[in-house]
Amino acid sequence: MRIAMIGSGYVGLVSGACLADFGHDVVCVDKAADKIEALKRGEIPIFEPGLDALVASNAKAGRLSFTTDLRGPVSEADVVFIAVGTPSRRGDGHADLSYVYGVAREIASAVKGFTVVVTKSTVPVGTGDEVERIILETNPDADVAVVSNPEFLREGAAIGDFKRPDRIVVGLEDERARETMTEVYRPLYLNQSPLLFTNRRTSELIKYAGNAFLAMKITFINEMADLCERVGADVQGVARGIGLDGRIGSKFLHAGPGYGGSCFPKDTLALVKTAQDHDSPVRLIETTVAVNDQRKRAMARKVVAACGGDVRGKTIAILGLTFKPNTDDMREAPSLSIIQALQDGGARVRAFDPEGMKAANDLLSDVTYTKDAYDCATKADVLVIVTEWDAFRALDFPRLAETMAAPVLVDLRNVYKPEEVTRHGFSYASIGRGTTRGVPPMSEAAE
Ligand code: UDX
């Protein structure tokens, strides 16, 4: 298959490289000339494990190339993917579709012969209809089938998610696209990943409903964590105890400082707006959004409490800035709200993150960036784990105690067991672990 991937950002690049790896002939297109030039030199503009090697090997094999010219690749393509951004529109929280519609117009005037146009960007219900309308309005002779094919890629695990998906969802209105899409995903289909065909609007909603459900699940366990702290229960035990019920499932029950990232905050908000517009409010998701927003700032209060109720003049060392590990993405990261709240309270902030410091520096002011966890902890009154990078999973506590002004750890990701930390003389606060009277939160009988 000849594939044109319009938009070489996170989703476009990962999808383009993986589709090339399946053996397709893929051209990645982007307006940003500097990005395309960098990609041609083999430089990957984002941090995603394994992506550089995948791009390099497929470019070398001649299956993957990069250009700023949309017309050429689109005119030759069997399938054109739209993978441009759909950020939250300033002011009203709706998804901003101007890039998607702009690209649809350009595609319309370039297509030749029957072409399947696939929306991979996350777009509200009905966008496929509008893309189809725009294409036919711009070029009434265009012979296209407009398909919805949402992505379910997690940053940091995107290549694995693309190559071994739980499912592939394809929403179509024109039966001719079924065969083409089956061919595009043939290697996965052969791997027995279910390929679900449905209509376009259902497919568009699946993406939002999926992300909203996961955001709600995280928010649920976060609220349980708060309750655990009040009643003397342990949230990890609760998560394990409910997660083994197959109807609930054990994933996405890790309590923490609130979800962030480029998808959950934006997609939940867009779903809320769409539902309001259609007079069918999704109240659970409205509440999820509000609870999660409040939670991020509330985490700063935990740090303040660990400092004895006041952080004025104190030095706070933050470990982890990105919204989750294995990414350099700072979008909607809980660290942003936490750091700002601590600075508002008069604290000095030092920080270390393996990949996120450059992006953080554009978003935060007055933060001292450091070279590793120990440098970060120097003379600090409290150390706070905000993102659970592997580098923070085996900290040398005696060494930290020596360098810090006071041995205090706030672990917002429950990386450690309390006794692992307290036996080194640290005072320790975490998420959702109420005091227990020496009974371990959960143990299981040996098989
Ligand atoms: C998510 C979806 O998982 C993916 O399917 C979709 O296509 C895009 O959005 P991503 O944003 O990369 O992917 O991150 P994910 O790993 O899902 O985590 C999102 C946020 O939730 C992070 O801030 C993470 O720390 C938080 N989270 C996740 C929790 O706090 N607890 C959990 O149990 C799981």
pLDDT at 182: 95
Pocket of ligand 1 contains residue 264 by CB under 6 Å: yes
pLDDT at 331: 94
DSSP reduced 3-state for 189: helix
Residue 442 lies in a domain: no
- CATH number (domain holding residue 340): 3.40.50.720
pLDDT at 344: 97
pLDDT at 359: 96
Number of separate domains in the chain:
2
Query: pLDDT tens across 127-184, in order?
Result: 999 999 999 999 999 999 999 999 999 989 999 999 999 999 999 999 999 999 999 9
Q: How far apart are CA 55 and CA 14, in angstroms?
A: 9
Going by CA atoms, what residue is nearest to atom 31 of ligand 1?
A: 254
Residue 207 lies in a domain: no
Does one domain contain both 186 and 334? no
Going by CA atoms, what residue is nearest to atom 7 of ligand 1?
A: 152
Query: pLDDT tens across 362-387, in order?
Result: 999 999 999 999 999 999 999 999 99
Atom in ligand 1 nearest the alpha carbon of residue 122: 7
Q: Which residues of 238-268 are buried (b: 16+ CB within 10 A; e: fewer)?
A: bbeebeeeeeeeeebbbbbbbbbbbbbbbbb
pLDDT higher than threshold 60 for residue 75:
yes
Residue 444 lies in a domain: no
Confidence of residue 188 (pLDDT cuts 50, 70, 90): confident
The pLDDT of 238-264, averaged and rounded, is 97
Going by CA atoms, what residue is nearest to atom 27 of ligand 1?
A: 259
Atom in ligand 1 nearest the alpha carbon of residue 264: 9
CA distances to 17, 105, 176, 202 from 128, in Å: 24, 13, 16, 11
Does one domain contain both 158 and 237? no
Question: What single DSSP character describes residue 146?
Answer: E
pLDDT higher than threshold 60 for residue 438:
no
Query: pLDDT tens across 222-240, in order?
Result: 999 999 999 999 999 999 9
Does one domain contain both 95 and 217? no
pLDDT higher than threshold 80 for residue 9:
yes
Distance (Å) from CA 439 to ligand 1 centroid: 32
Does one domain contain both 166 and 222? no
Residue 362 lies in a domain: yes
Out of 163, 198, 233, a domain closes at 198
pLDDT at 97: 95
Residue 407 lies in a domain: yes
Does one domain contain both 412 and 265? yes
pLDDT at 174: 96
Pocket of ligand 1 contains residue 63 by CB under 6 Å: no
Does one domain contain both 168 and 256? no
Confidence of residue 99 (pLDDT cuts 50, 70, 90): very high
Distance (Å) from CA 259 to ligand 1 centroid: 7
Pocket of ligand 1 contains residue 155 by CB under 6 Å: yes
In SS3 terms, 300-361 reads as: HHHHHHHCCCCCCCCEEEEECCCCCCCCCCCCCCHHHHHHHHHHHCCCEEEEECCCCHHHHH
The pLDDT of 199-221, averaged and rounded, is 97
Out of 173, 198, 223, a domain closes at 198
Query: pLDDT tens across 257-294, in order?
Result: 999 998 999 999 999 999 999 999 999 999 999 999 99
The mean pLDDT value of the chain amounts to 95
Which residue out of 15, 46, 264, 266 has the highest number of ligand 1 atoms within 8 Å of its CB and is therefore the one to mutate? 264
pLDDT at 447: 46
Residue 435 lies in a domain: no
Distance (Å) from CA 102 to ligand 1 centroid: 29
Torsion angles phi and psi, residue 26, rounded to 5: -115, 130
Does one domain contain both 240 and 367? yes
Confidence of residue 437 (pLDDT cuts 50, 70, 90): low
Does one domain contain both 187 and 266? no
Element (H, E) at 173: none
Does one domain contain both 238 and 154? no
Going by CA atoms, what residue is nearest to atom 14 of ligand 1?
A: 154
* pLDDT over 90 percentage in the chain: 91
Pocket of ligand 1 contains residue 213 by CB under 6 Å: no
Residue 434 lies in a domain: no
Atom in ligand 1 nearest the alpha carbon of residue 327: 12
Does one domain contain both 145 and 105? yes
Residue 247 lies in a domain: yes
Going by CA atoms, what residue is nearest to atom 8 of ligand 1?
A: 263
The pLDDT of 335-357, averaged and rounded, is 97
Pairing of strands 144-148, 115-119: parallel
pLDDT higher than threshold 80 for residue 198:
yes
Q: What angle do CA 104, 281, 199 make, to 5 degrees?
A: 40
Residue 28 annotated in active site: no
pLDDT at 262: 87
Length of the chain: 447
Atom in ligand 1 nearest the alpha carbon of residue 258: 30
Pocket of ligand 1 contains residue 154 by CB under 6 Å: yes
Out of 198, 228, 262, a domain closes at 198
Does one domain contain both 309 and 287? yes
Confidence of residue 191 (pLDDT cuts 50, 70, 90): confident
Q: What would the two tokens of residue 334 be?
A: 């809980």
The pLDDT of 311-328, averaged and rounded, is 96
Distance (Å) from CA 416 to ligand 1 centroid: 21
Sequence-separated (6 or more) residues with CB below 8 Å from residue 80: 3, 4, 6, 74, 107, 111, 115, 116, 117, 118
Pocket of ligand 1 contains residue 153 by CB under 6 Å: yes
Does one domain contain both 230 and 352? yes
pLDDT at 441: 61
The pLDDT of 41-58, averaged and rounded, is 95
Confidence of residue 412 (pLDDT cuts 50, 70, 90): very high
Binding residues for substrate: 152-155, 207, 252-256, 260, 324
Q: Is this prediction's pTM over 0.90?
A: yes
Q: How far apart are CA 413 and CA 429, in angstroms?
A: 10
Confidence of residue 192 (pLDDT cuts 50, 70, 90): confident
pLDDT at 189: 72
127: burial class by Cβ within 10 Å (0-12, 13-18, 19+)?
A: buried
Pocket of ligand 1 contains residue 263 by CB under 6 Å: yes
Domain range for 332 is 212-429
Kindly report the number of other CB atoms within 10 A of residue 183's CB atom.
14
- Check 18, 28, 228, 263 and give the catalytic one: 263
Going by CA atoms, what residue is nearest to atom 24 of ligand 1?
A: 259
